[in-house]
Each structure stands twice: as C-alpha cells, then as structure tokens.
Structure 1
Amino acid sequence: MSGTWLPPEQYIATLPKATIYGCFFVTDQADRPIQLRAVRNPAVWQWPGGNLDDPGETPWGCAVRECMEETGLHIADVPRLPAVHFLPPLGDWTTHKVGFVFDGGRLDQDQIDRIVLDPDEHTEVAIRPLEDWRTRMSGFAFRRLAAVAEARRSGSVCYLEQPPTP
C-alpha cells in the first residue's frame, strides 16, 4: 500500500481473502489416527471438520458443529490446538485457507461404535497405525497427519504451510 489512508471498508477490499476451517485430530486408545473418506474425492481422507459457515462462528465452534454433523459425536469440551494450517489458493479455490486443528482426544471403542457418518460427506471411517496412512494419502497430507500426531505427543503446536502448486 502507498501509505494513503483508506476508510476501513475500502482498505479491507484490498486485502487477500481467506476461508477458515476447524477440525479435530482424533485417535483410538492405541493412538491410531481416525480419518473419514471424502465422498467428493474417495482418495481424500479427512478429519471431522469443515469451513466456518457464518460470520459469528469461531474455529472451535465450527469444529464442534462439523464433528457433530459428520460423526454424530461431541468429542471435546476444551479447545486444545496442536496445529494451524495455511494453504494458498489452489486450483478452483481462489482464496487462502487457514485451518485450526484441534485435539479431539482418544476415542474409546464405545465412541467409535457410535460414529454415524453423514452420507453426503463421508463414506467410511478408518483407523490405522500412523505409518499405514503413508501409502493412502498424498505426501503433504501424510506429513500434516504425522506433524499433528507429533505435536500432540510432544505437547507442542505446529504450523504447517501447504506449498503452492506450480
């Protein structure tokens, strides 16, 4: 910017746009990641979550709402954040995307048995040891999964950037 003052609505119009998502990283009691197969692209495995739908929604509120919609479960009451994820505009998606990955904890077998998928969103629930996911996901998606699992294990927070596609 040139340093010229603009009214807020004009200045905001000059800024990059972004969507925000909230999701939950969850495992079973043996720390095996639990993921959901996407309907729109069966090669994609996801955590329960999605985009903020309303200007008043927070990333935490979005993760809780989406998890309930996609699995029928309310899995966490306290926000614990092992990762933040930034994606540049990719393909037909013309805005940046910022994701908040919350720790949904370790689900017991009763919780896993109560998962009811939204058939418009996901076709399958899978629980696998971390290393088994490597061959089922893109390289970046697996690196994100592994980084979030390590952040949870170590009690740290990781920041992830998806590289732009050439």
Structure 2
Amino acid sequence: MAHTWLPPAEYIATLPRATAYACLYFTDTQGRPFQLRTTYETGLWHSPGGNMDPGETPWETAVRECREETGLVFEGEPRLLATHFISDRGDHWPANTIGFYFDGGELTDAQIASVVLDPEEHSEYRLLTLAAWEREMTPSAFRRLAEIDGARRTGTTLYVESAGDH
C-alpha cells in the first residue's frame, strides 16, 4: 500500500487539538503545599501557573506565571514532578490540555510574606496540610495535589490523567 504524504499544515489539521499549561509546586518549610484561590472559578485552588504563550517552553511558562501571579522570581533549575493530561471537555473546553508541574522547592517565611497577588486573578493564598487541603478542594484536584506532593517527596515523576475536569 502506497502512502500519501500530506504537506505539514494539512497533516497537523488532522491531529487532536491541545492547549498546555505549566506551574510550580511549592511548599513551606513544614511541607505544607502553597495554593492560590482563583477569582474566575469559585473555590478552585491551584499552584502558581497558567497557559503557555506562543514561543514559550513549559519551564518558561511556569517561571513567568509564578512571577505574574505571586511576585516571586524563581531562579531554580527545572525538575519535572508530573505531567497532567485532561481530555477534551466538549463545549466547555474543546481541546485536550497538557500540564507540567515543576518543583519550586520550599518557600521561606520571608518569601511567603512577600507574595503579592493580582486581585483580578486570585483572591488569596494558603499553606495547609494535605489533610486540610482535602477538605478545601474537589476530590480530583486534591488527588492530583496529593500525587504531586508524593512525587516531590519520593523524587519520582508521575503522569496523571483527568477526564474532563481540572
């Protein structure tokens, strides 16, 4: 059977669509995860991060978004903790989403005190134990947080799938 090779633009048009985001996972010196509450979806908590801009790598996105969302300038090296895949959510978000969680390390008390949030994006930040986060987050978001925290603690990297949720 002979193959017909399509020009790159035509071939790419046949592939599944995907957006990408990246974030930094921080804890304080007591190991409590640092999370931001969004203003655009009530009750949603997440690590500092956001969608990639054209021409950015996931690492550049994570560092830029952290600076924009918290005022913290991260100068560490990239260490991937997890890749997160979210399937196409139909009309709500008609594309797959791929996320990258990088290890931001431990925040000092001085760094935490210096956090400045953009009130149009985030209403607050918190540092809570995993048990306390379980009461604050949706089950799927908490499961992902706990898995990412476990990857950080064990030095492993993980792959997480979510079906149509955050």
What is the TM-score of this pair, normalised by structure 1? Answer: 0.94
Aligned residues: 163
* CA deviation after TM superposition for structure 1 residue 125, in Å: 0.6
**3-state SS, counterpart of residue 67 of structure 1:** helix
Distance 1:93 1:74 in 2: 31
Which residue does the alignment assign to 1:151? 151
Q: Match of 2:130, as an amino acid?
A: L
The aligned runs of 1:46-61 (5 Å cut-off) are 46-54=46-54, 56-61=55-60
Could you give the per-residue CA deviations for residues 30-63 of structure 1, whole angstroms, max 9, x where no partner exists? 0000100000112100110000111x10000000
| CA offsets 1:137-160 (integer angstroms, 9 cap, x no match) | 111100100000000000000100
- Residue 25 of structure 2 aligns to a residue in which SS? strand
CA RMSD, Structure 1 to Structure 2 (Å): 1.3
Q: What residue in structure 2 maps to residue 100 of structure 1?
A: 100
Q: Deviation of residue 131 (structure 1)?
A: 1.2
- What CA distance in whole angstroms lies between the structure 2 residues aligned with 1:72 and 1:148? 23
Residue in 2 that maps onto 1:86: 85
Q: Contact 1:76 / 1:104 at 8 angstroms: preserved in 2?
A: no
Which segments of structure 1 move beyond 2 Å, counting only runs of 4 or more?
none
Taking the aligned partners of 2:51 and 2:61, their CA distance within structure 1 comes to 7
Which whole-Å deviations, capped at 9, do the CAs of 1:105-154 have from their partners, x for residues lacking one? 10010000000001111000111001111111111100100000000000
Structure 1 SS opposite 2:13: helix
Cα deviation, residue 164, structure 1: 3.9
Q: Is the 8 A contact 2:76 2:104 kept in 1?
A: no
SS of 2:134 mapped into structure 1: helix
Report the Cα distance in structure 1 between the residues aligned to 2:46 and 2:127, rounded to whole angstroms.
12
Q: CA deviation at 1:4?
A: 2.9
Gaps of 5+ in 1: none
Match of 1:163 in 2: 163
TM-score calculated relative to the size of structure 2? 0.94
Unaligned stretches of 5+ in structure 2?
A: none
Q: Secondary structure at the match of 1:82?
A: strand
| Alpha-carbon distance in structure 2 between the residues aligned to 1:77 and 1:153 | 18
Look up the equivalent residue of 1:10 and give its one-letter code. Answer: E
| 2: CA distance, partners of 1:42 / 1:71 | 19
Larger mean Cα displacement after TM superposition, 8-17 or 71-80: 71-80
Distance in 1, matches of 2:7 and 2:135, equals 51
Q: Is the 8 A contact 1:36 1:122 kept in 2?
A: yes
Once residues 124 and 74 of structure 2 are traced to their aligned partners in structure 1, the CA distance between those partners, rounded to angstroms, is 18
